[in-house]
Amino acid sequence: MSIFRKAGFLLLNLWIPFHVVAVFLAPSGMPPSSPLLVNAAELARPYNEALFLNHGYHYFAPDPGASTLVEWSIDRPGDIPLKGRFPDPQTSPRLLYHRYFMLAENVEAFSPEARPLILRGYAKHIADVHKADQVSLSFIRHYPASMVRIQAGGSLRDEDSYEMEPIGTWNFDAPPNRLPTSLTPVPVEHTSGRQFE
Amino acid sequence: MTSSSSRLIAIIRCGLLRARDAWLRFWFEPADPLPLGLIRILTGLMLTYSLCVWGLDLQAFFGDDLLQPREAIEMLHEGNAMFSLLLYVPQEWMFAALAASILVSLLFTAGAFTRVTSVLAFLITTSWSQRVPVANFGLDQIVGLLCLYLAIGPSEASLSWDSYRRHKKGLSTQLLPSARLALRLLQVHLCIIYLWAGFAKLKGETWWTGEALWRVIANQEYQTADLTWMAKIPWLPYLLAHITIVWEVFFCALIWNRTLRPLMLFIGVCIHLGIGAFLGMWTFGLIMIVPYLSFVSDKRLRAFITWPSSKRRALQTEESASTSE
């Protein structure tokens, strides 16, 4: 074995434990966690991020709870508002439905600085699809029905299992084909949700 | 030096040599690359499908100021090691980028130019996932790590266009140390995933009370098959919740036991097929089963793959025997 091959093999044998430890540490910082583990996960973070391995693997954990949907509403003068939700059960294939579901479920887990931009993106997408100037968004929490409720004849779609949290309203003044590059959401009086300025 | 101290040194030396040999055997004992070839084909098909689905709503998800605004994603990437090559692709070139990604993914699936296409497949997975991080879920994570280990290991050495061109005959029987390394990394990573998935569930009260599985079943947005009849037999979801926890937490230890391995894999297959059938996540359910191939005996896999040709040969032998009679 040449000296280069020997050195390469030695490096490979050093990389293996490093890699395994880094992968093991990635989910360890998820709360609740000790400062020791949080710091260790932080140390491994650049390596895991670069290799797209920085995941928590918290599938349906710690407690499966309400699912989150995004409801949109477009006011139409002299008519009832146009409303919709995503994910839309009609979306097909199922993987595409799941992508929309994740948009609604995951957005609150992202940094508070980026979140308003992402929510504005949701509103902008809806505005483009429906050629609207103004779009309001709300989160809908859909709580899973308890066993007792189902035993008593209830269903998963009972109205009181939904809870609404208004997010805000965005105004896109220009026609869809000539949108300005910078969009500023304009708070609207009837909205009780958060307003982004 | 006293005789006792020299004996101690000899014992330590012997222990270290044994540990070194065990380490080398565990990570580098030459292995059949056939499982890697199969994993490559299945991963490549899933990656291709995932890319095609992006194509159905490409503008909405990857438009500069739509569902995943470029500015917001750049903000998320700032100051960390996340990257996406798609952030350097102008808006009008996105369809071309998608077409090129699908082409590379198909070449990777077929095992053509695999040394290059496996690395590209990993970059493609990472780039498409990290460009739309809010829309990611378990599927992307698993495809990502599979592509990484397939790029490290000799996934071209079996069931590939590359190996066909090289050998011009059926399956190669060459055993490779690098195949063992890639398969071991995959096995260890799967153990880590299940261990943390189990630990994470133990942080929640409902996994202890058994109610958690019911809550998953009763989630309208996931549900693709009505399982609310389980409310009439409450012990069933409770039992399934407890089995899930025990299986996830102990997978990393029990999977190495040859006797228990088939049972652990069987439970895993049932859980993941259940996720596909009842929660509508077929892509995630199926991709989670793919790394299981790293635990299946290569002899069994080889027998399974070559079954049609060996059966044909047996039939031909029978026919020629009856003709000569």
Write the pLDDT tens digit of every residue in B166-206: 876 656 778 999 999 999 999 999 999 999 999 999 999 99
Note the pLDDT tens digit of each residue in B203-261: 999 999 999 999 999 999 999 999 999 999 999 999 999 999 999 999 999 999 999 99
CB contact under 8 A, A111 and B234: no
Instruction: Pinpoint the alpha helices (H) of A83-168.
Output: 94-106, 115-130, 147-151
Residues 80-99 of B with CB under 8 A from A: 80-83
Residue in A58, A59, A126 to test binding to B, most B beta-carbons within 10 Å: A59
Note the pLDDT tens digit of each residue in B37-71: 999 999 999 999 999 999 999 999 999 889 999 99
Beta bridge partners of A164: A140
Instruction: Pinpoint the alpha helices (H) of chain B.
Output: 3-28, 34-56, 58-62, 70-77, 94-110, 114-131, 138-152, 161-167, 177-202, 205-209, 211-217, 235-254, 261-279, 282-289, 298-305, 307-324
Q: B80 to chain A: which residues are within 8 Å by CB?
A: 45-46, 49
Backbone angles phi, psi at A188, to 5 degrees: -110, 140
From the list B61, B192, B214, which residue is nearest A147 (CB)?
B214
d(CA B321, CA B325): 6
Q: How confident is the model at residue B313 (pLDDT cuts 50, 70, 90)?
A: low
Mean pLDDT score of chain B: 92
Higher pLDDT, B24 or A176: B24
- pLDDT of B14 strictly over 70: yes
Q: How confident is the model at residue B311 (pLDDT cuts 50, 70, 90)?
A: low
- pLDDT of B156 strictly over 60: yes
Closest Cα in chain A to B187 = A20
Q: Can you give the residue ranges of every domain in chain A?
A: 3-50, 67-178
d(CA B185, CA B178): 11
The pLDDT value recorded for residue A109 is: 84
Q: A96 to chain B: which residues are within 8 Å by CB?
A: 53, 56-57
Tens-level pLDDT at each residue, chain A (197 residues): 788 999 999 999 999 999 999 999 999 998 889 999 999 999 999 999 999 999 999 888 899 999 999 999 999 888 899 999 999 999 999 999 999 999 999 998 888 888 999 999 999 999 999 999 999 999 999 999 999 999 999 999 999 999 999 999 999 875 544 443 334 444 433 333 443 33
Residue in B57, B214, B219, B245 to test binding to A, most A beta-carbons within 10 Å: B219
Distance from CA of B7 to the nearest CA of A (A): 29
The pLDDT value recorded for residue A172 is: 87
CB contact under 8 A, B200 and A19: no
From the list A46, A101, A125, which residue is nearest B221 (CB)?
A101
Q: A43 to chain B: which residues are within 8 Å by CB?
A: none
**How many Cβ contacts (< 8 angstroms) between chains A and B?**
199
CB contact under 8 A, A58 and B200: yes
Task: Give the Cβ contact number of residue B286 at 10 Å.
Answer: 19
The pLDDT value recorded for residue A182 is: 39
DSSP state of A107: G
Q: Which of A34-48, B87-101, B154-168, B264-278 has the lowest mean pLDDT?
A: B154-168
Contact in structure between B64 and B89 (CB atoms under 8 Å): no
d(CA A118, CA A139): 14
Contact in structure between A118 and A107 (CB atoms under 8 Å): yes
DSSP state of A31: S
